[in-house]
Amino acid sequence: MNQRNKALCQLAFTALLWSLAGVCIKAVNLSGPAIAGIRSAIAFVFLFAIMPKTRPVWSKNCLAGAACYALTMLTFVTATKLTTAANAILLQYTAPFYVAVAAPRLLGETTRKADWLTLAAAFGGMTLFFMGDLSGDGLLGNILAIVSGLSFAGLAVFLRGQKDASPWHSVLLGNALTAAVCLPFCLQTAPGPSDWLVLAFLGVVQTGLSYYLYSLAIKHVRALDALLVPIVEPVLNPAWVLLVHGEQPSPQAVLGGAIVLAASAARGVLVARALPPSRWDSAGGDDRPPVGIQGAKPLGRRRR
């Protein structure tokens, strides 16, 4: 299997792991920030244990990626407390639009017509999927969800900017930042034995493993691909809730989910046909040289 296809498989598996968050968080009797903090602390320990022991390159991309990671975690958890989950998810997944606009200038990665068509279809499908749960209430929560979308886009761009380095160091540092900020909430209530089991799964598998795979994959695909492939995650989340908690999605939600899945699959087929096999192993399959933040100089010396 070539590197690009391997990366796409890693992204698909990442989406599957991300989709487990909802059903797991429902099973933990703690506040959102406490869950986020403990989850990130466990993820930090796990990532530190499995990551290649290479010296970090503390570049602007690395530090900005870590900040975006922590901001995404914190704003999304808080947004779900202040507005509906549907609003939070839908507004966070505006991230691909920001990347589609910014990537050509910052990374030199072309946004294709198939990308725009996929974005339109996927966003329309997600709107239909969450239509019954969308609300105009919770202005602060909606603003935080928009910030979460911007930081999620920034995470993809800054991780991609480290394609020739080690983007997983941003994820490691981001988890440390999230855990530190959420520490006061973590100390308010002690988790029970069953809570610890779920939190361990959230930290090791759902967050640690998923973001490690994500940081590996983004070295070999465009930043936009790193958001468009996992875009199926929001519609997989309710499927797990249905299986575990028996919450039935509405017919329009099923239709919206089908549109998202179909758009993602159709784009995969179109891109595969348009991209010559000889270019599948290139990083992102773009002819243009990287520019913008791709040229950011490291703040430390890299070990050779």
Question: What's the confidence (pLDDT) of residue 266?
Answer: 78
* Residue 202 neighbours by CB under 8 Å, 6+ apart: 21, 24, 25, 28, 35, 39, 42
Question: What's the confidence (pLDDT) of residue 240?
Answer: 79
**What confidence category does residue 291 fall into, taking pLDDT thresholds of 50, 70 and 90?**
very low
More reliable by pLDDT, 146 or 245 = 146
Sequence letter at residue 183: L
CB atoms within 10 A of CB 31: 16
What is this structure's pTM? 0.82
Q: What is the CA radius of gyration of the chain?
A: 19
More reliable by pLDDT, 138 or 117 = 117
Contact, 82 vs 140, CB < 8 A? yes
Residue with tokens 């709107």: 127
Contact, 284 vs 161, CB < 8 A? no
> Which two structure tokens, joined as six digits, stand for 202?
């959230």
Averaged pLDDT score across all residues of the chain: 83
Report the pLDDT averaged over residues 207-234. 92
Q: What angle do CA 1, 257, 123 make, to 5 degrees?
A: 90
More reliable by pLDDT, 246 or 185 = 185
User: Nearest-CA neighbor of 106 among 27, 182, 171, 160?
Assistant: 160
More reliable by pLDDT, 248 or 194 = 194
Please write the tens of the pLDDT for every residue from 154-163: 999 999 999 9
Question: What's the confidence (pLDDT) of residue 275?
Answer: 56
Contact, 125 vs 245, CB < 8 A? no
Question: What's the confidence (pLDDT) of residue 26?
Answer: 77
Q: CA-CA distance, 258 to 263, in Å (whole number)?
A: 8
Residue 186 has pLDDT above 80, yes or no: yes
Question: What's the confidence (pLDDT) of residue 276?
Answer: 52
Residue 126 has pLDDT above 50, yes or no: yes
More reliable by pLDDT, 189 or 271 = 189
**What confidence category does residue 273 fall into, taking pLDDT thresholds of 50, 70 and 90?**
low
Residue 105 has pLDDT above 60, yes or no: yes
Question: What's the confidence (pLDDT) of residue 278?
Answer: 47
Please write the tens of the pLDDT for every residue from 21-40: 877 887 888 888 899 999 99
Residue 301 has pLDDT above 60, yes or no: no
Question: What's the confidence (pLDDT) of residue 265?
Answer: 78
Domain segments of the chain: what residues? 19-283
* Residue 7 neighbours by CB under 8 Å, 6+ apart: 216, 217, 218, 219, 220, 221
Residue 256 has pLDDT above 80, yes or no: yes
SS3 category, 224? coil
DSSP for 262-274, written as a single string: HHHHHHHHHHHHH
Interaxial angle between packed helices 3-18 and 233-245, expressed in degrees from 0 to 180 and rounded to the nearest 10: 40
Helical residues (DSSP H) of the chain, grouped into ranges: 3-18, 21-25, 32-50, 60-82, 85-92, 95-106, 113-130, 139-160, 168-186, 193-201, 210-217, 225-228, 233-245, 251-274
Question: What's the confidence (pLDDT) of residue 150?
Answer: 96
More reliable by pLDDT, 301 or 173 = 173
Question: What's the confidence (pLDDT) of residue 51?
Answer: 87
Q: How many Cα atoms are found within 13 Å in the side-chain-facing hemisphere of 181?
A: 20
More reliable by pLDDT, 169 or 82 = 169
